[in-house]
Amino acid sequence: MFCEMWQDELMLECVTAGESHGAALVAVLSGLPAGIEITTDTLTKALEQRRRGYGRGARQKFEQDVVTILSGLRHGKTLGSPVAVEIKNTEWPRWQTVMSPDPVPRRALLRDAGRGDVREVARNQKLTKPRPGHADFAGMMKYGFTDARNVLERSSARETAARVALGAFAQAFLDQVAGIRIVSHVTSLGPVSVSLRAPVPRPEDVDYLDRDPVRCLDPHTSEQMVQAIDQAQHTGDTLGGVIQVIAYGVPVGLGSHVSRDRRLDARLAAALVSMQAVKGVEIGAAFLQASLPGSKAHDPLYRGDQPAEANTGLGMIVRPSNLAGGIEGGMSNGNPIVVSAAVKPISTVPHALPTLDVADGSPATGLHQRSDTTAVVPAAVIAQSEVALVLADALLEKTGGDSVAECSRNLWAYLDEVTQRNTFS
């Protein structure tokens, strides 16, 4: 995750562990201040959103994310100590022989020949036919494995359930300290895209988006996306798309221009690209900006008649456009932060792609694993969690503080100062 791979010194440190068919996923988040109000129910609801979405596969129908907060929380408030979360795998009884951490007798492996459906290889069979587009081949070469299961179990997007659980803590912190609200939605799915003139979702639209089958605000476009998924299922194919995350109420000055590892846009891009299947990130309207002349590619500043939202620090400054996506020079500028990510189609297609059997070099087709027709909708929910973790880290970097109350005092002292500067009185 972004926590381990980008900055040398972080306010928040997070790590996940666990395999797709292992006993459980475990996640640890350290650096959170004391006093964040959150419950197990909050995490459960976030994980439910990750499982939803039209075009999900069979696994989501019977898999239940049973989440337990192991540490760092007492009576609904964080303690300032590391938070540890466990998400049990309800399929573990079927896999405990094949995925046993300890050696098992060969006869036990031979008996455990179950499978998810008739197209899948038996659970106990060595996987030597790497799937194009997955981590299988490169992981086998890198670590010297002869069985792709040693790679695919960890590289699976199942791991993102742990990220969503940690992201729930980050979103609660951002809301309670700074009033930052984050919204995610799908802007394109397969051949269908939201109109550029369509309204942009706001925090008050979250309930609607959570109910929509493809997380799209426009009903007509949503219906077209559903039809595209149905068509892909009929032809035995998969679909990718583009997701967008918008953070409202982000104060000016998070991140920094002084060092590459502190630039907020770099941190957001790293977090989103760390997601399985994400192949590209756009900050604001970056690709549109690239096609415009410089005189039209930036967001001018004007003095307005009414003050901006108090938690942004903009005072009387208004900007009629937001091409920059709320970030300039690696820092938040007080406008909503807008980031988009390109999600490739799922590589495990029902009509398996050509590959080689690396055991003997013979032509083969990629092994079949149960998969979704599209994972674009849950990717939006996961991206929302990733953005929250980055912004929470940047906010703590700016405010410091061991408790929510201290972080809030420090933030509002800063906002009072910059707002006064920007009222020009």
Tell me what pLDDT residue 280 has. Answer: 98
**DSSP secondary-structure letter at 330?**
T
184 CB contacts (<8 Å, ≥6 apart)? 209, 215, 243, 244, 245, 246, 380, 381, 383, 384
Once rounded to an integer, what is the mean pLDDT over residues 409-419? 97
pLDDT of 169-203, one tens digit each? 999 999 999 999 999 999 999 999 999 899 999 99
Q: What is the pLDDT of residue 348?
A: 77
Q: pLDDT tens digit string along 326-350?
A: 999 999 999 999 999 999 999 877 7
108 annotated ligand binder: no
Range of the domain at 341: 2-90+158-347+371-421
Q: Give the model's pLDDT for residue 124.
A: 76
Q: Does the annotation place 370 within a ligand binding site?
A: yes
Candidates 275, 288, 286; CA nearest to 387 is 275
Tell me, yes or no, if the pTM score tops 0.85.
yes
Contact 388, 271 (CB under 8 A): no
The candidate with the shortest Cα–Cα distance to 228, out of 352, 345, 132, is: 345
**pLDDT average, residue stretch 217-244:** 96
388 is in an annotated binding site: no
Average pLDDT, the chain: 93
Question: What number is the average pLDDT over the span 251-257?
Answer: 98
Residue pLDDT, tens place only, 8-50: 567 999 999 999 999 999 999 999 999 999 999 999 999 999 9
- At 233 the pLDDT is 93
Backbone angles phi, psi at 313, to 5 degrees: 80, 10
Report residue 388's pLDDT band, with 50, 70 and 90 as the boundaries. very high
Q: Which of 381, 126, 352 is nearest to 245 (CA)?
A: 381
Residue 184 is labelled as binding a ligand: no
According to DSSP, residue 419 is labeled: H
74 is in an annotated binding site: no
Average of pLDDT values for 152-169?
97
Q: 174 and 182 in contact (C-beta within 8 Å)?
A: yes
Q: What is the pLDDT of residues 82-119, one digit of tens each?
A: 999 999 999 999 999 999 999 988 888 877 666 554 44
pLDDT at 3 over 70: no
How many domains does the chain fold into?
Answer: 1
Q: Does some domain include residue 58? A: yes
Task: Output the pLDDT for position 61.
Answer: 58
Determine if residue 362 is labeled as part of a ligand binding site. no
344 is in an annotated binding site: yes
The alpha-helical segments, DSSP class H, found in 91-248 are: 92-95, 106-111, 136-143, 149-155, 160-178, 206-211, 219-235
CATH assignment of the domain containing 80: 3.60.150.10
Q: 318 with 308: CB under 8 angstroms?
A: yes
**CA–CA dist 199, 193 (Å, integer):** 13
Whether residue 62 has pLDDT greater than 80: no
Report whether 347 belongs to an annotated binding site. yes
d(CA 177, CA 410): 10
Q: Has residue 86 been placed in a domain? A: yes
The answer to the question of whether 80 is labelled as a binding residue is: no
Please check whether residue 243 is in contact with residue 382, taking contact to mean a CB–CB distance below 8 angstroms: no
In three-state secondary structure terms, 282 is: strand
Place of tokens 């760092």: 72
Residue at 135 is within a domain: no
Asked whether residue 362 is assigned to any structural domain, the reply reads no
User: What's the CA dihedral at 114, 115, 121, 123 to 10 degrees?
Assistant: -60
- Range picked from 194-198, 349-353, 366-370 for highest mean pLDDT: 194-198
**Residue 329 marked in a binding site:** yes
**What CA–CA distance (Å, rounded) separates 29 from 14?**
4
pLDDT digits (tens, 9 = 90+) for 109-156: 877 666 554 445 677 789 999 999 999 999 999 999 999 999 999 999
Average pLDDT over residues 250-277: 98
**30: annotated binding-site residue?**
no
264-317 pLDDT per residue, tens: 999 999 999 999 999 999 999 999 999 999 999 999 999 998 888 889 999 999
Specify the pLDDT at position 41.
98
Q: Output the pLDDT for position 2.
A: 47
Look at residue 357 and tell me if it is in a domain.
Answer: no
Task: Report whether 111 belongs to an annotated binding site.
Answer: no
Q: Distance between the two ends of the chain, CA-based, in angstroms? A: 45
User: Domain for residue 35, yes or no?
Assistant: yes
